[in-house]
């Protein structure tokens, strides 16, 4: 493989297939060991099936072993794609003129949901923001009684556009020239746009599918990465705590 070109789609599919084959073989073994005679399958049949599983996997591994340098390519490609998406989100979230910028409003405080559920809702708001190319206005003030909401821990989503004129707000989906559209409080907007899960941007789809076995999971993770950028005080707290407890990676 020429340097820095990355793997072919075929080689990435082969790598994933090996992983799937190993998992399926383990599930097959576990089932028959757990159920024993109740499965009514002859032991010779089980051994024959396992022989087939491992013969196919061994063949795929042999082919995969002929490919070199993929891990470094994956690392660089993942970093490059993430940088690209994070830059796009930064540009979208920081319009030069907030008053004239098209915006989408997301209320983080409704529904009485916990932080995990609220962040899931926020991911839908962000998908709608990116899909419509509107700056996301997120209101988290007084969430769970905290005056600063998410900004207690994380950086604001925008440095230039955090205010809005409520009189301009229209309900979802609004029109193309609507200045401020309110995203529904729950995660089933009607009409449902095509960019709501599980879709990915077309312009990076080929690179992303080549890189990752679950492209949408990676894509959604980029919104969490942008949202959960620690502010200076939280960064300092984490750094101090890391040193105090002797943090080492990996950790669960």
pLDDT bucket at 6, cuts 50 / 70 / 90: low
State residue 67's pLDDT score.
62
State residue 26's pLDDT score.
80
Q: What is the set of domains in the chain, with CATH numbers?
A: 9-68 (1.10.287), 85-239 (no CATH)
Give the predicted TM-score (pTM) of the model: 0.73
Say yes or no to pLDDT of 199 above 70.
yes
State residue 111's pLDDT score.
61
State residue 113's pLDDT score.
75
State residue 202's pLDDT score.
93
Mean pLDDT, all residues of the chain: 86
Give the largest Cα separation in the chain, rounded.
75
User: For residue 50, what are the contacts with CB-CB under 8 A and spacing of at least 6?
Assistant: 25, 28, 29
Give the whole-angstrom CA distance, residue 176 versus residue 240: 48
User: For residue 102, what are the contacts with CB-CB under 8 A and spacing of at least 6?
Assistant: 132, 133, 134, 135, 178, 179, 180
State residue 72's pLDDT score.
77
Convert the pLDDT of each residue in 65-100 to its tens digit: 566 557 778 889 999 999 999 999 999 999 999 999
Give the whole-angstrom CA distance, residue 62 versus residue 7: 16
């Amino acid at each position: 493989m020429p340097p820095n070109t990355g793997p072919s789609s075929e080689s990435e599919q082969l790598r994933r297939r090996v992983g799937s084959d190993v998992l399926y073989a383990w599930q097959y073994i576990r089932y028959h060991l757990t159920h024993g005679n109740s499965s009514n399958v002859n032991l010779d049949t089980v051994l024959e099936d396992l022989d087939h599983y491992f013969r196919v996997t061994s063949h795929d591994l042999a082919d995969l072993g002929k490919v070199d340098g993929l891990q470094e390519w994956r690392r660089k490609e993942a970093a490059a794609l993430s940088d690209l998406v994070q830059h796009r989100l930064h540009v979208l979230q920081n319009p030069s003129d907030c008053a004239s910028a098209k915006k989408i409003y997301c209320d983080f405080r409704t529904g009485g949901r916990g932080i995990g559920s609220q962040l899931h809702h926020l991911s839908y708001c962000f998908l709608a923001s990116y899909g419509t190319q509107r700056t996301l206005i997120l209101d988290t003030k007084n969430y769970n009684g905290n005056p600063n909401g998410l900004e207690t821990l994380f950086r604001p989503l925008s440095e230039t556009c955090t205010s809005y004129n409520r009189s301009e707000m229209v309900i979802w989906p609004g029109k193309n020239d609507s200045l401020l559209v309110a995203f529904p409080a729950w995660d089933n907007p009607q009409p449902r746009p095509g960019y709501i899960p599980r879709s990915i941007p077309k312009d990076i789809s080929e690179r992303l599918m080549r890189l990752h076995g679950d492209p949408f999971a990676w894509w959604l993770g980029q919104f969490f990465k942008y949202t959960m950028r620690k502010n200076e005080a939280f960064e300092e707290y984490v750094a101090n705590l890391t040193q105090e407890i002797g943090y080492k990676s990996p950790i669960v």
